[in-house]
Structure 1
Amino acid sequence: MAPPLHLSEPDDARDADDSSSDYSSVSEDSLPPIHAYGHTYHGSARLYIPHDAEEDRRLRIQHELYHLVLDGRLHDARLPIEDPTFGRSGDEDDDEDDEQIPRYHILDVGSGNGLWAVEAAQRYPKADVLGIDLTSALLPKDVPANLTFEIADVAEPWPPTLYDFIHIRNLVGGGVRDWERLVEQALQHLKPGGILEFTELRPRFYDVVPALADLPEGQKPEVGLACLEYHKIFHAACQAENLDFDPVPRVEEYLQASDAEMVRERVDWLPVSGWGRDPLMRKKGELLNELIEVGLDTWSMLLLGKNGMGEEEIRTLLRRILEETQDPRLRSCFNLTFITAKKPLDDATVEDD
């Protein structure tokens, strides 16, 4: 990871006066972009997901869906900074004591279009938020004073900075090949008692029935034939490219094998097409369908194209999948998984990379 301005500074040097950002610390991408399938991709050819207007649209739908799943919150973990008393010295008139209270440091890994980081900075004015991504293509330029964006590669060694909360959401797409190393890096760069949250929308259709999504008597969940075909083709393409688009099972294993405490996994089942009787489940399904409509294209074209499928062949398969997601006779779900873990309070070491 090339040491960006704020990311490489020691933790005790990052005070409130050093948290302002006018986006000047973010450089433009050094590589010319790749244009294919009507999309724009990162010039390194490492990322199979584009960084263009369609991907921005997908990320915005995804952010709205996660808001709904989290009941308006930004993360599944409960953070100390959410406490209204956070940062108070006990004497509200003693401004000098308040200034001595350390800032809360948040790292958003793989910021995408920056929506989560911007909202976190707005919601937590007593936090310094750093968002990093491999590309600046979708990052906003007008950001809160306590937010900084930087171009950085999390697959490279991290500078020795500690954070109170590290947020990793939907990082699949080619930028990370070694998920175990990523988990190790994140845990090493948490402060004692710091929290890690890892979130992924797993890329497959499941034939399950969520607790609140009742089916009429005699009906069963069913995944369509085109969706099943897509599973096989997508999995084979990932294997050919040495990609892991579904790291959730391994991430939990890595955390369980580490010294992390309070490792917790929570799954939210999202019904495709909004089936079921519960209004909240139906709303989740409606947003999920919008996400699938955009995401199938952005997730599939380059990956499947590099592995022998012609463009029209891919688009025909994607059209069949979209037809199945609208078929009232078929019922399937997506799996949205949140994994949280806490660093032990007595662990104060960070290895130099």
Structure 2
Amino acid sequence: MSSPRSPRSPRGRASPKSLQSPEGAEQPPDNEPHPTNTQIPFNADDDVDSAIEDDGSIISSTVSLSESIFDYRNIHGRTFQSFRTTEYWGPNDDRQNNGLDIAHQFITMLKDDRLFLAPIGHTPTKVLDVGTGTGIWAIDMADAYPSAEVIGTDISPIQPTWVPPNCRFHIEDAQLDWTYQPSTFDFVHIRALYGSIGDVLKLYRQAYNALVPGGWIENFEFNITMHSDLPEIRDNPDHIFKRWANVFFDATDRMGKTARIGMNGTMRKLMLNAGFVGVVEKSYQVPCGAWSSDKKMKQIGAYNLAFMDESLEGFALFMLTEIMGWEYTEVQLFVLEMRKALRNTRTRPYYLVTNCFAQKPEYAA
């Protein structure tokens, strides 16, 4: 994942370039209209446990990845990558990486056990995974398509060394000018770069250039606002779900990035602006906790809660201390409040994720 280093700016607020088209499109508001749960079945009379229940087995079953060969910055016991051109807000230590691998599990389930939804129509020959993180998607893709060459790029070398022979990892900053020759890849995959890209339109244009005519791009992004249909949460602007999202919108604005990429049809608009056609964008409601009456959604919710439980401190630590100027104890109390609210599955919390795919025209040069 990649995000160029920005100076700390506690006073002014930067306007993310990523949400400004060449015509100067305005930045969307922080919050879309509040959704209503229409995708996650549940029994209103169920007395769901407010704790993780047996979801701890999900956390304990994940495998820690290999240690990095680089030295990392240490912030209150958590390690962060400091690349020569980029500083990423998320930790790169085992705990955060375990969370990323858990997220990969429920994202794949959400896509009906598919690694991508783009209708490629043939076996890809060369695939690029931008911001590969732990490399788990690239490894699974290489296993699924052994005749394809799969390349994963990231600023942090946290990927395992034992990988399929058709899978390689490069340390690269996706926000710099790409060095790949035009028309190199059949498929470009991007996932969870929210809050780390200064110019998403540039990113899409570079992907467009790197794709062969008729090639596909797919981008999956999280939305950081947690929701509940309970009026006491939905209508309360001071609830932790609202305060959590708002402070991170503020922090990423100050960094010159965007945490809004999955909102308001932004990916669809920017892909069209970059020249892609056949754009399909879909949002999914993802439960947090095993409160759904549907077996699949119940399991997705359990994995999601495990992901959040592993990741909350990592989400908050850099941005709130280094960007927003909070004290460490303030961050810990904030994380504790959010964790308690997420574990209260009686409120049936959920959030939205957005998947968008599109094609480079077959007649493109």
Same-fold status (TM-score > 0.5): yes
1:325/1:305 CA distance change after superposition, 3 Å: same
Can you give the 5+ residue segments of structure 1 that lack an aligned partner in the other structure? 1-26, 87-102, 209-218, 349-353
1:338/1:78 CA distance change after superposition, 3 Å: same
Give the secondary-structure state (helix, strand or coil) at the position aligned to 2:117.
coil
CA distance in 2, matches of 1:248, 1:144: 32
Aligned twin of 1:76: 117
What does the per-residue CA deviation read over 1:41-99, in whole Å, with 9 as the maximum and x for residues that have no partner? 11246111011101111111111111211122111223233xxxx5xxxxxxxxxxxxx
If asked which structure has higher relative contact order (CA below 8 Å, sep 6+), I would say 2
CA distance in 1, matches of 2:194, 2:174: 12
Match of 1:244 among 234, 258, 261: 258
Aligned twin of 2:72: 33
Aligned twin of 1:317: 334
TM-score of the superposition, structure 2-length normalised? 0.74
What is the number of equivalent residue pairs in this alignment? 288
Match of 2:168 among 148, 152, 169: 148
Aligned twin of 2:159: 139
Can you give the 5+ residue segments of structure 2 that lack an aligned partner in the other structure? 1-67
CA distance in 1, matches of 2:275, 2:254: 33
Tell me whether 1:346 sits opposite 2:363 in the alignment.
yes
CA distance in 2, matches of 1:37, 1:221: 35
State which drifts further: 219-228 or 71-80. 219-228
Match of 1:299 among 305, 311, 315: 315
What residue identity is the alignment partner of 1:202? N
Match of 1:43 among 82, 104, 120: 82
Once the two structures are superposed, the pairs formed by residues 69-108 of structure 1 within 5 Å of their partners are 69-81=110-122, 104-108=125-129
Is residue 288–residue 345 contact of structure 2 (8 Å, CA) maintained in 1? no
State which drifts further: 219-228 or 44-53. 219-228
In angstroms, what is the RMSD of aligned CA positions?
2.0
Tell me whether 1:168 sits opposite 2:209 in the alignment.
no
What does the per-residue CA deviation read over 1:16-52, in whole Å, with 9 as the maximum and x for residues that have no partner? xxxxxxxxxxx954xx411012211112461110111
CA distance in 2, matches of 1:222, 1:329: 12
TM-score of the superposition, structure 1-length normalised? 0.77
Is residue 153–residue 171 contact of structure 2 (8 Å, CA) maintained in 1? yes
1:263/1:320 CA distance change after superposition, 3 Å: same
* Identity across matched positions, percent: 25
CA distance in 1, matches of 2:274, 2:319: 33
CA distance in 2, matches of 1:248, 1:296: 19
Aligned twin of 1:184: 205
CA distance in 2, matches of 1:275, 1:124: 35
Aligned twin of 2:41: none
Per-residue deviation, 1:319 = 0.9
What does the per-residue CA deviation read over 1:185-243, in whole Å, with 9 as the maximum and x for residues that have no partner? 111111011000001111121345xxxxxxxxxx6694581222212222222222222
CA distance in 1, matches of 2:275, 2:345: 47
Is residue 150–residue 167 contact of structure 2 (8 Å, CA) maintained in 1? yes
Per-residue deviation, 1:173 = 4.5
Per-residue deviation, 1:257 = 2.6
Tell me whether 1:336 sits opposite 2:363 in the alignment.
no
What does the per-residue CA deviation read over 1:251-307, in whole Å, with 9 as the maximum and x for residues that have no partner? 221112343111001111112223332222221111111111112111111100111
State which drifts further: 225-234 or 104-113. 225-234
Per-residue deviation, 1:315 = 1.0
Tell me whether 1:200 sits opposite 2:214 in the alignment.
no
CA distance in 2, matches of 1:237, 1:221: 27
CA distance in 2, matches of 1:233, 1:38: 23
Aligned twin of 2:107: 66
Aligned twin of 1:268: 284
